[in-house]
Chain A
Amino acid sequence: MSLALVSLGFLDAFTGAIDFIFNQRESTVAGDEVGGLAQIGDLTVDHLEVSAIALAGSLIVAMPIGVWLGHHGRGELLAVAIGNAGRAVPELALIAFMVAFVGVGLVNVSIALLILGIPPILTNSFVAIRQVDRDAVEAARGMGMSEPEIVARVELPLAVPTLMSGVRTAAIAIVATATIAPLAGVVTLGDLIINRNVYGDDGVLAGGILVAVLALAIELTLAGIQRLLTPRGLRLERAPARA
C-alpha cells in the first residue's frame, strides 16, 4: 500500500512537470500565466543565446592561442596548467563573483561562461595540434606548403576529433552553468528552477528535465558536427579521451 503511494507520488510530480511544459497555467503568485510551449520556447532561446555567445567567445579567445602554441610546440606547461586550473573553478562561485564584484546582465554572464569554456578548448586545441604526426607536417613542408597552409590543411583536419572533444566539454559546461544565470539577472531555462515561487514545483521539475534534454541535444549536435568535420580516413579510429 505505502509502496504504491510512493510511486504514485513520484509519477504525479513528473506528470505535473510535463503538463507545465505543454499547457499554460496561472502562476503561483498572483497575475501572470506561466508554462506552456510558448514560454518554454522563449526560455530555451534565451538559454541558447547566452550559451552561444559564451561558446563563440571562448572559441575566439582560446582556439587561436591553443593552435598557435601547438603549432610552434611552445607553452605546454601553460596550456596544461590552464586546463587543470579551469576544472577547479566552482560554477556557483564564478557567478557569485560576477554578481559581487563585476555586475549582472547579459555581458557579464557571457564573460563568466566564456571563462568557463576557455580551459578545455585551449588545452584540447594545443594537444590536438601537438599530437599530429610530425612526419605528416614534414611531408607537407616538403611539398612546399607555407606554415599557415600546413596549419589549415594538415594539422587542423587531423586535429578535429581531439579539438572537438574540447569544444563539447566547453559547451556542456557553459550550457550547464547558464542554468544558474538567472542569479545574475539573465533569464534562461534555469529561471524555472531558481524562481520556484513563480513557477511552482511543476515548473522546477520541468526546468530540470528541459535543461537535461537541452544539454543532451547539444552534445548530440556537436557529435554530428564533429563527424562531418572529421576527415574520412580518421573516422575509423577510436575517439580520444576528454580533457
Chain B
Amino acid sequence: MSAPLASLLPLAQGDDFIQERTGTGCVQENGFFCAEWAFDNFDRYVTPLVEHLVLVSASVVAGLAIALGLAVMSHRRRWLVPPLTGLTGVLYTIPSLAFFIVLLPITGFGRTTAIIALTAYTLQIIYRNIVAGLDNVPAASKDAGRGMGMTDRQLLWRVELPLALPEIIAGLRIATVSTVAIATLAVFAGAGGLGDPLYADLTFRTNVLLAGGLAILMAIAFDALLVVAGRVASPWRKVRPV
C-alpha cells in the first residue's frame, strides 16, 4: 500500500558491525570492558562520533537561529510569547524517535530528517531562555542606551542581547547536552551517530560502554565549551547556570 516507505526504512543497518565477536577471550566471554578490543577497534567509532558531532552542532545552531528569530520577533510584540511558547512546547513534547518516523515519508531516510526533529526539540529550551534573558535586562541599562541615542535595533543588539547572554548560554547548555543524549536515537532516522554502533550490538558490554561513554564525554565537552564561550563573550559578568 505504501511502497514509498519500503526503501526508506532499512533499520537493520550495521549488521556486520560487531557480531563476529571473535578474538580475545575477553570478547568471547563478553567481559566488563575489553580494553584491548576497544583499543584495536576504536577506529570503528570515529565515523559515528563525527556524525554525532555534526548532528548535534547543526541542530543546536539551527535551533539557536530560529529561536533567536522568534524571540526577537516576540520581544516587541508581547502577545506572541504565549502562542510561541505553546507551539515550541508541542515540538518539545513529541518524542524525537516518533518525530523521526513521522518525518520519514516526507524528508526521507537520513541526516536531514534527524536534524529537523532535533532542531524542533531544542527550540523551546532556547526560546524560553532568550525571552527570560531579555526580560531580565535592567531598565536602567535600556534607559542609558536610549539616552545615548540608540535606536530600537541598536538597543537590542548592543545592550539587551549582550546582557541576556548568561541566560542564553544557560539555555544552550541544556539544549546541547540533551541533544547529545537524544541524538543516539538518530540511528532510527538512518542518520548514524553513536546510536549506530550501540544499536548494532546492544549485548556487547565493551561496545555499550564505549559508545555510551563517548556520548557522555561529548556532552561534557560541549557543556564546558559553552561555559568558556559564555565567559569569553561576556567578560563583564560571570555565567550563572539557571
Contacts and interface: CB of A to CB of B under 8 A. Distances in A.
B61 interface: no
Contact of B94 (A14, A16, A216): A216
Given A100-B203, A241-B128, A12 B184 contact: no
Given A100-B205, A193-B188, A90 B194 contact: yes
A183 B211 CA distance: 17
A93 B11 CA distance: 17
B140 interface: no
Nearest to A219: B93
B95 A215 contact: yes
Given A205-B105, A215-B95, A241-B128, A84 B203 contact: no
B106 interface: yes
Given A12-B1, A92-B195, A205-B2, A180 B177 contact: no
Interface centre among A10, A196, A202, A241 (most CB of B within 10 A): A241
Interface in B143-177: 174, 177
Contacts, number: 167
A204 B101 contact: yes
A94 B212 CA distance: 8
Given A10-B105, A92-B184, A172 B95 contact: yes
A91 B182 contact: yes
A88 B212 contact: no
B97 A211 contact: yes
Interface residues of A, number: 50
Given A196-B11, A209-B102, A212-B98, A93 B2 contact: no
A219 to B, nearest CB: 5
A136 interface: no
Interface in B90-121: 90, 92-102, 104-106
B216 interface: yes
Contacts of B53: none
A84 B178 CA distance: 10
A94 B215 CA distance: 11
B101 A16 contact: no
B67 interface: no
Contact of A14 (B6, B105, B188, B205): B105
A242 B128 contact: yes
A87 B181 contact: yes
Contacts of B228: none
B84 to A, nearest CB: 14
A97 B212 contact: yes
B208 interface: yes
B219 interface: yes
B242 interface: yes
A96 B202 contact: yes
B180 interface: yes
A64 interface: no
B202 A99 contact: yes
A13 interface: yes
A40 interface: no
A196 B10 CA distance: 9
A201 to B, nearest CB: 4
Contacts of B9: 196, 201, 204
A21 to B, nearest CB: 13
A216 B93 contact: yes
A13 B11 contact: no
A93 B215 contact: yes
Nearest to A211: B98
A190 B98 CA distance: 9
B69 interface: no
Interface string A191-227: 0011010000110110111011001100100000000
B184 A215 contact: no
Interface in B183-207: 184-185, 187-188, 194-195, 198-199, 202-205, 207
User: Which of B3, B202, B212, B216 has its CB near the most chain A CB atoms (within 10 A)?
Assistant: B202
Nearest to A175: B95
Interface string A1-23: 00000000110111111010000
B74 to A, nearest CB: 14
5 contacts: A12-B4, A91-B182, A100-B204, A212-B102, A215-B95
7 smallest A-B Cβ distances: which pairs? Answer: A208-B101, A93-B212, A176-B95, A201-B5, A13-B105, A16-B2, A9-B4
Given A99-B203, A209-B101, 5 more contacts: A89-B181, A91-B185, A92-B184, A97-B208, A204-B101
